[in-house]
Structure 1
Amino acid sequence: MSKSSCFFCIMKEQDSTIRKSKIQDYLKGIPFLDNEHLILVVSELWSLAMTRPDDEELLSLGLFQCMTVLMNKAIHDRSWLLKHQNIYIPYYAAHIVGSYTMKRADSAARAVDSGVVQPLLELLRGEMSWVEQRVAVRALGHLASYEKTFEAVAVYEEEVVELALNLAISCLENVYREFVEVKDGRERVRYHCNLLTRGAGGAEMEGRKAEEWASQLQCWSIHLLNCFAVKERCLHLICKRGFLEKLCGVWGGLANQASPGGIGLIRILCHTRIGRESISKSKNVIENLCNVSRSSDEWQYMGIDCLLLLLKDVDSRHNVIDSAALCLVDLVELKNLGNRRSLGDSITRALLHDYKKTKIKNGDINVQRSLEEIWLLKVERRRREKLMSRERIEERRMMVKLIKQQGNHHFLVGHVGEAISKYDEALEICPLKHRSERMIVYSKRAHCHLFLRDGDAAIRDATRALCLSSPPNSHDMSLWIRAQAYDMKGMAKESLMDCIVFMNVCIRSGGGSGLRILYYVVRMICKQMEKTWLFREARIKIKEEAEIQVKKCKNYGSGLSTIMEEPCVVRDGIGKKKIERVINGISNKTV
C-alpha cells in the first residue's frame, strides 16, 4: 500500500468508481498496516457502522473479510496485538460485524461467507476479556437470528450454547471482580476504561458504564440462547434446573429496553414439551413466574402466558396447579394488558376447564377454595347479575357506597377487623360491571391487611384492585400499598417496580398523592435499588470469600508469617504485561 494513500481522503473522493476501487484496495491492505494509523482507520469504520448500518458500499468492497483477518490476527499474534493501539482492534472489529448484521439477513449471510464465525467464537471463549465477549456474543446472536445464517453458528451448537449459558450466569460476577471492584482507577485495565467512557470520566462513571455493559452482555447471551431454544435445539442443556432457577433473576430492560431478560427465554421454553416438563418440576421457577404475573413488571403478560401454557398441558398442569391457581385467582378480572385482550377470561378458562374433576379429587383445600371463588365470581355471579333489573343493580350500588362509608369509619377509629368485614360485605353485593367502585373497595381492604401486617393478603387485594383499574396497574394508592407489602415480605424487585410505576402515575396525573407520600416513595426506591443492584450478589460473594480467608489466617496462629500475612506490594507502570494477563485470563493486579 502506498504511504501516500489516506483512508479519509479516499472516502471524500467524489467519483464513486474511483472511490470504490481505492476503498477495496485499502481494505485488503489494512491488516498489513503497522503503525498508529491503523486504529484511526478501524475506529472510523466502527463509527460508520454505528451511524450508517444500512450502507452496503463498504460491505460489497470486502469489509467483513478485512474484519475477519484483523480478529484472527489479534487472537493468534500477541506481539502484534500489543503494539501501538492494536489492543482495541478486536473489539471494534467484532462490533462492526454486529452493527452491520443487526437488522439485515443479506448482510449476515455476507458476513458468514467472509468467515467471521470462527474468530467471533474465539472471542466468545474468552481469548481476551469480557469486553470482547460482549461484542462477540452480540454479533453471534444476530447471525443466529436468521434462517440463512443460523446453521453456520449451529456448527458449534453445543459449545456455543454452553458458552452462552456460562456467560449469562457468571458475567456479572466476572465484570465486578475484574473491573468494578477495582476501586483504584490506575489498576483498571486502561483500554477497558477508554472503551467504556471514551477516555472521559473517572472511576465512578466507568463503574456505571461497566454495569450497563454487563447487563448487555447478560441479555445478549440470553438472546443467543433464544435463537436455539426457539428451534428446540440443545434444550437438554438450556433446561437444566440450576440454570432455569438462575434465569428467573435475570432482568431485562436495564440497559436493553427491548430485552425481556430471563422471562423471555422461559416463555419460549414453555412452548416446548421438554421446556414445560423441566419448568413445571421447579417450585422456585413457578414461584417466580407467579410473582411476575402479579407484579407491575413490564413483562407481566409473559409471566401469565407461561403459567397458562403450563396449565393447558395435561403433563405439566398437575405440578403447577397449586401455586398457579393461588396466584391467578387474583387476575381473573384483568381485561387487557398491552396487546393481549381478555386475559382474565383466558385465565378463567385455563383454571376451570376441569373444575368438576378437581373437586372430586379433593385436592389442596386452598386450591379448591380458589377455584370455587373463580367459579362463583365469573360464572354464577355473572349469570345472576345478567338477570337483574337496572333498578336492582342501581340499588346494590347505593348500598355498596353506604357499607363502604361504614368500613371507612371503622378503619379511622382503629377497628380494622370490623372495617375488613364491611369491605367484604360491600364486595359481595357490588355489581361486577361497576369496576371502579370494586377497585376502591379492594384497595381499602388491602390497606387494612397492610395495617395488620398481613403482607400476603395485602398483595392479593392490591393486585385485584390494579386489575380492575383502567388501564391495568394504574391505581396509585394500590401500587403504593402493594409496594409496602412486597417490602414487608422482602420482595425487593417487585416493590421497586411498583414504586416506579406509582411515581409515573403521580407524574402523569399531576401529583395529588401528597409530598409526604412521595418522600417515602423516594426513600423506598433508594432502599430497593440497593437491594436489587446488578452486582449485589457478586459483592456479597466476594465479601464472604474475604471473611473466610480472614478466618483461615486467624487459625494459623502465631509463629512464622504465612503468605496471607505478607504485605501486598502493588507495582505501577506494568503496561503491556498487564494487558497480557488480561488476555490470558489472569488477574490484572500484580503482587
Structure 2
Amino acid sequence: MAIYSLKKKEKVTATTTTPTVSPTMGMACTNPSCFFCIMKEPDSSVRRVGIKNCFKEIPLTDDQEHVLVLSGLFNIAMTQPDDPEFPSLGIFHCMASLISRSITDKDWLLRYQNVYIPYYAAHVIGSYTMNKVEFAEKAVESGVIPPLMELLRGKLTWVEQRVAVRALGHLASYERTFEAVAEYEKEVVELAMQLASTCLEVVYAEFVGVNDEKARLKYHGDLLTRGIGGMEMENRKAEEWASQLQCWSLYLLNCFAYKERAINLICRQEFLKDLCQMWGGLVNHTSPAGVGLIRILCYHKTGRKSIAESREVVESLCNLSRSSDDWQYVGVDCLLLLLRDQDTRYKVMEIAILFLVDLVELRSLGGRSYVGEAITRTLLLDYNQTRSKLKNNKVVQRALEEIWVLKLERKRRERMMSNEKVEERKVLISLIKQQGNQRCWLGEVEEAIVKYSEALELCPSRMRKERVVLYSNRAQCHLLLGDPDAVIRDATRALSLSIPPNSHGKSLWRRSQAYDMKGLAKESLMDCIMFINGCINSETTKRVKVPYFAARMISKQMEATWLFSTARSKLSSTQPNKVQESDDEDEGGNDEQQLDDMMRTMMENKNFKSGLSTIIEEPLIGKGESKRKLERAMLRNKAVVPPST
C-alpha cells in the first residue's frame, strides 16, 4: 500500500492533530468565495449559486481551509443524507475530483492538512448514496466510480479503502447503478475478497500492533478519535473500523452474489474457508459477516456445490446452527438449502444430521416458527432413498431412525395415551429422576446417566419442562466424565426445548464449558454471555456482580476471539523478539482493569439491559469419598452446576 510512501512525508507536513480552525475564523471574512459565508446567505437562490460555484472551484484551488469545508460537508452528509440540496449542486463531481487529485498530486495531498480530504470526500459520497437511488444515479453520472476504484486498489491506505468500499457497496445495491459498478466486475470482486480476507492483518500490522505512537500515521489516529483520546481509544476505534471494512467488503460481494454474478470467483475454496472465520461478533454485531454471504451463495446451485465440497465450511455451519449465536438461524437456513438439493444432499447429510438431530424439537428461531418441523421434514425427505444411499453409514442410520421414532411413531403412540396413564408416567419419571440425582450426588455418574436416559425414554414429548431438566442433568454427567460431544448434544436438546429457545441457564453454562473443551471459543463465549444475561434478567437485587467462573470463561474466550487474534499470532511468528518485549511489559499489568474493560465492551455490544447480577454457585452436597469424587470432578471441569431438582 501507499501508506509507507506517505508515512515519512506525512509526519513532517501534517503535524497538527485535527483539522484546525483558520486564524481568520471569528473575524470579518474577506474571502468572497468563503464556503462558510455563502452558507449563511439568507437568499436561497444566491446561496445555491454560491455553493455550486464553490463545488466547482474547490478541486482547482489550493487553500488551507479546504479541509475545514470537507469536514463540514462530512458532518452534514452524515446527519442529513437525504437532503437533495448538495447532490443537486455538484457535490459528487467535487468529491470525485478531490479524490483524483489526492491520488495524482502527492505534493498537494501532503500540503496543509489535505491528507484528510480523500477520506472525507469518499465518506460524503457514501453517505449521500446510502438511501436514495436518485442520488446514486447522480453520483455515477458525476464520475465517482473511477476515483473510488483507485482508493479500493489501495492507492492510499486502509482508512480510505474503508470509505471507498462502503460507497461502492451502496452504488452496487441499486438496480439502476449496479451495472456501472459491474463494469469493473472481476477486479471489484477480487479486490473485495482480498480486503475481506486480509484487512484485519493490515490494520493490525500498520496501526493496532504498532506500539510506538510516533510510528503510526498520525492522521489515522486523528480520524479515528477526532484528535481526542490516547492509544487505547485509537485501538478500540481501529478495531471497530477494521470490522466495518471487512463487513463492507462482504456487503459489496453480496451485491454481486445476490444477482448471481461472479459466483465462481467468490466460491474459491480458500475464500469460503476464510468466510467461516469472518465474524461480525461483538464489535459489529448487526452484521452476519461471512455466514451472511455463505447463505446468499447457498441460494445458487454453483454456490451450494462449492460449499458442499468443503467439509470445513459445512462443519462451521453445523457449529453455528447448534449455538446461541445471533446468527444461528442463518446456519440452519444454509444447511437446509444444502440438504434440499439432491446434488449436495447426501454429501452434507453425513455431517449435518449429527448436529440437526438435536434441533428437531426447536419451535421458533430468529423470528421464524416451526423451525424444528422444517428441519424434520428436510431430514426425512425421501426417507427410504436416503437410508438406502447411506446404508453403510451406521451413524446416519441411527440418527434417521431416532428422528423417525421421536417425531412420528412416538407422537402417534402418545396421542392414544389416556390422561391417567400420563399422570402415572409423571410420577414414575419424577421418581427415576430423583434416583438419577442421588446417583450424581454420590459420584456414581455412569449410573446417573442410565437413570436420566430411562426417564427420558418414558417422558412424553409434551412434557417439555421435565425433558429440559433431564437432558440438562445428563449433560452435566457427561461433563463430569469429560465427554464434550455428549454434553453439547444433550445441552442443545435442552435449549431447543426451553421457552424461549436458548434460555435454560444451566444448559448454557454446561455447553459453554464443553465448547471450551473442544476449542470452539466463539460458541463457548456466546453461551456464556447468554448464561449471564439470563441470570441478570432473573436477578432482583440491586447489587450485581459477575461470578468469577463465568468472568474467567468470558475473559478467556474474548481473548481467543478478539478480532485481531489471528493477525497478532502471525505477526508474533515473524517478530518474536518484539512480541516478547511486549509480553514482558504486560506481565505486571492490571488484570482486574483488563477484565473490567472487557466486560464493559461485552455489555455494550450484547444489549445487557441492567447491571450484572450475582450468581452464587450452588454447593455440591456430599460426604466422605463421594464428596472427594465430586471435588476432583470440579477441578477437572473448572465449575460444575449440580443437577436440577
TM-score relative to the length of structure 2 = 0.83
Alignment-derived partner of residue 83 in structure 2 = 55
Alignment-derived partner of residue 219 in structure 2 = 191
Contact 2:346 2:386 in 1 (8 A): no
Question: Counterparts of 1:289-300 in structure 2 under 5 Å?
Answer: 289-300=317-328
Alignment-derived partner of residue 271 in structure 2 = 243
Give the C-alpha shift of residue 549 in structure 1: 12
Deviates more, 1:116-125 or 1:332-341: 332-341
Give the C-alpha shift of residue 35 in structure 1: 2.2
Give the one of 393, 405, 418 matched to 2:434.
405
Alignment-derived partner of residue 524 in structure 1 = 553
Helix, strand or coil for the counterpart of 1:315? coil
Does 1:366 pair with 2:395?
A: yes
Alignment-derived partner of residue 487 in structure 1 = 516
Question: Counterparts of 1:156-175 in structure 2 under 5 Å?
Answer: 156-175=184-203
Helix, strand or coil for the counterpart of 2:365? coil
Residues 361-393 of structure 1: per-residue CA shift (max 9 Å, x gap): 423111111111000000100111111112212
Residues 285-317 of structure 1: per-residue CA shift (max 9 Å, x gap): 000000000000000000000000000000001
Q: Unmatched 5+ residue regions in structure 1?
A: 551-591
Alignment-derived partner of residue 584 in structure 1 = none
Contact 2:522 2:557 in 1 (8 A): yes
Q: Which amino acid aligns with 2:35?
A: F
CA separation of 1:212/1:516 partners in 2, compared to 1, >3 Å: closer, same or farther? closer
Contact 1:164 1:222 in 2 (8 A): yes
Give the C-alpha shift of residue 413 in structure 1: 0.8
Give the C-alpha shift of residue 19 in structure 1: 1.5
Give the C-alpha shift of residue 448 in structure 1: 0.6
Give the one of 495, 499, 505 matched to 2:528.
499
Contact 1:212 1:255 in 2 (8 A): yes
Alignment-derived partner of residue 416 in structure 1 = 445
Deviates more, 1:529-538 or 1:503-512: 503-512
Helix, strand or coil for the counterpart of 2:575? helix
Q: Which amino acid aligns with 1:534?
A: L
CA distance in 1 between counterparts of 2:537 and 2:241 reads 31
Q: Unmatched 5+ residue regions in structure 2?
A: 1-28, 580-645
Alignment-derived partner of residue 321 in structure 1 = 349
Q: Which amino acid aligns with 1:503?
A: I
Alignment-derived partner of residue 462 in structure 1 = 491
Give the C-alpha shift of residue 9 in structure 1: 2.1
Alignment-derived partner of residue 347 in structure 1 = 375
Give the C-alpha shift of residue 511 in structure 1: 6.7
Alignment-derived partner of residue 8 in structure 1 = 36
Residues 454-489 of structure 1: per-residue CA shift (max 9 Å, x gap): 000000000000001111011111100000010111
CA separation of 1:192/1:515 partners in 2, compared to 1, >3 Å: closer, same or farther? closer
Give the C-alpha shift of residue 253 in structure 1: 4.3
Q: Which amino acid aligns with 1:457?
A: A
Does 1:87 pair with 2:115?
A: yes
Alignment-derived partner of residue 152 in structure 2 = 124
Alignment-derived partner of residue 436 in structure 1 = 465
Cα root mean square deviation, aligned: 1.8
CA distance in 2 between counterparts of 1:160 and 1:153 reads 8
Give the C-alpha shift of residue 350 in structure 1: 0.7
Contact 2:196 2:247 in 1 (8 A): yes
Does 1:392 pair with 2:425?
A: no
Alignment length (residue pairs): 549
Alignment-derived partner of residue 25 in structure 2 = none
Alignment-derived partner of residue 205 in structure 1 = 233
CA separation of 1:549/1:197 partners in 2, compared to 1, >3 Å: closer, same or farther? closer
Does 1:146 pair with 2:184?
A: no
Q: Which amino acid aligns with 1:542?
A: L
Q: Which amino acid aligns with 1:336?
A: S
Residues 509-545 of structure 1: per-residue CA shift (max 9 Å, x gap): 1179x99982210110000011111111111111112
Give the C-alpha shift of residue 359 in structure 1: 2.9
CA distance in 2 between counterparts of 1:182 and 1:155 reads 38
Residues 52-109 of structure 1: per-residue CA shift (max 9 Å, x gap): 1111111111111110111111111111111111111000000000111112111111
CA distance in 2 between counterparts of 1:226 and 1:114 reads 25
CA separation of 1:101/1:167 partners in 2, compared to 1, >3 Å: closer, same or farther? same
Contact 2:324 2:530 in 1 (8 A): yes
Question: Counterparts of 1:526-541 in structure 2 under 5 Å?
Answer: 526-541=555-570
CA distance in 2 between counterparts of 1:384 and 1:138 reads 57
Runs of 4+ in 1 over 6 A off after TM superposition: 514-517
CA separation of 1:520/1:74 partners in 2, compared to 1, >3 Å: closer, same or farther? same
CA distance in 2 between counterparts of 1:218 and 1:258 reads 13
Residues 408-467 of structure 1: per-residue CA shift (max 9 Å, x gap): 111011111111111101111111111111111111110110111100000000000000
Helix, strand or coil for the counterpart of 2:495? helix
Alignment-derived partner of residue 542 in structure 1 = 571
Contact 1:123 1:136 in 2 (8 A): yes
CA distance in 2 between counterparts of 1:15 and 1:509 reads 60
TM-score relative to the length of structure 1 = 0.91
CA distance in 1 between counterparts of 2:506 and 2:300 reads 39
Alignment-derived partner of residue 141 in structure 2 = 113
Give the C-alpha shift of residue 546 in structure 1: 2.7
CA separation of 1:46/1:306 partners in 2, compared to 1, >3 Å: closer, same or farther? same
Contact 1:184 1:203 in 2 (8 A): no
CA separation of 1:255/1:97 partners in 2, compared to 1, >3 Å: closer, same or farther? farther
Alignment-derived partner of residue 260 in structure 2 = 232
Does 1:77 pair with 2:108?
A: no
CA distance in 1 between counterparts of 2:569 and 2:60 reads 47
Contact 1:446 1:481 in 2 (8 A): yes
